[in-house]
Amino acid sequence: VREAMAGWARAVRGLLLDVSGVLYDSGADGGVPIAGSVEAVRRIKASGLKLRLCTNETQATRENFVKKLRGMGFDISVSEVTAPAPAACHILRERGLRPHLLVHDDLVPEFAEVDKTNPNCVVLGDAAENFTYANLNEAFRVLIGMEKPVLISLGRGRYYKETDGLKLDVGAYMKALEYACDVQAEVVGKPSKRFFESALAEMGVPPEQAIMIGDDIVNDVGGAQRCGMRALQVRTGKYRPSDENHPDVKPDAYVNNLAEAVDIILQEL
């Protein structure tokens, strides 16, 4: 099997890892690392490969997110994380946009430097318990009151896996607002090309020398492949057997978990 599989593992200089479902399964208790993933990250770093965590995590600031990962034993620093909120702040400043935020309370500090008076756009993140009817309706009213509504969504995932089961993700609420306001959201985060490209630029690695490893066949695998990267699907996290018959996205390989992927890649180095 190894010889047949190894083709996709050649000439790699950088790895982009999705986090939730690849490194750990999130949960109310902070979550649990997936078997072998702490050691796999350590081995990637020891190998000299460039590493980037490419996450759509929007329930915490990058600092707190990294603190949580370090608490699980992962050797990760904030500078190795590409996340949607900082990218969104950059866009907001660039375009003079003042957001109405519908995000998780713990993410709000990421927007501290951004002018939020008299909003002229809505920024939507994975607000979890904040996705109440009242809060969605307030965001709807801000958008519907605009001549040209601007909806910025920090990802478009359908669902993700926590330790107690699958949870609705931001994409479901994005679609509700799109439908109600007849607007198309601008997605910051995976699978947006600009998001992957900024992660590659931060690593200093061209797409053909990078591999993305994720549990979301559309946003991780499909998004990375559209940028010219190779992409692997792990059979952890939200992976379901039906992903292997996806009509549009064919991963470069399936691996049981991150540890197996790292084994194969490091043998090729």
pLDDT tens-digit readout, 85-102:
999 999 999 999 999 999
Contact partners, residue 121, CB within 8 Å, separation at least 6? 92, 97, 98, 99, 100, 149, 150, 151, 152
Question: What's the pLDDT at 29?
Answer: 85
Query: Same domain for 160 and 236?
Result: no
Angle of CA points 126, 145, 176, to nearest 5°: 35
At which of 155, 187, 219 does a domain end?
187
- Average pLDDT of the residues in 234-244: 96
Percent of the chain past pLDDT 70, that is, above it, reads: 98
- Average pLDDT of the residues in 186-214: 97
Query: Same domain for 93 and 162?
Result: yes
Query: Same domain for 140 and 101?
Result: yes
Q: What is residue 18's three-state secondary structure?
A: coil
Percent of the chain past pLDDT 90, that is, above it, reads: 94
Tokens read off for 258: 């991150």
Question: What's the pLDDT at 7?
Answer: 86
161 part of a folded domain: yes
Residue 1 has pLDDT above 50, yes or no: no
| Per-residue confidence band for 5, with pLDDT thresholds at 50, 70 and 90 | low
Residue 55 has pLDDT above 50, yes or no: yes
Mean of all residue pLDDT scores within the chain: 95
Query: Same domain for 229 and 260?
Result: yes
117-140 tens-digit pLDDT:
999 999 999 999 999 999 999 999
204-227 tens-digit pLDDT:
999 999 999 999 999 999 999 999
Number of domains in the chain: 2
Backbone region of residue 252 per phi and psi (left: phi > 0; alpha: psi in -120 to 50; beta: other values)? alpha
Query: Same domain for 235 and 151?
Result: no
76 part of a folded domain: no
At which of 129, 156, 187 does a domain end?
187
Question: What's the pLDDT at 30?
Answer: 86
At which of 187, 222, 250 does a domain end?
187
What are the DSSP calls for 108-140, one per residue?
Answer: GGGGTTS--SS-SEEEE---GGG--HHHHHHHH
| 225 contacts 231 by C-beta, under 8 angstroms | yes
Query: Same domain for 172 and 102?
Result: yes
> Minimal CA–CA distance to 122: which of 109, 103, 105, 96?
103
26 part of a folded domain: no
Write down the pTM of the prediction: 0.93
Domain that holds residue 213: 1-11+35-41+49-55+205-268
210 part of a folded domain: yes
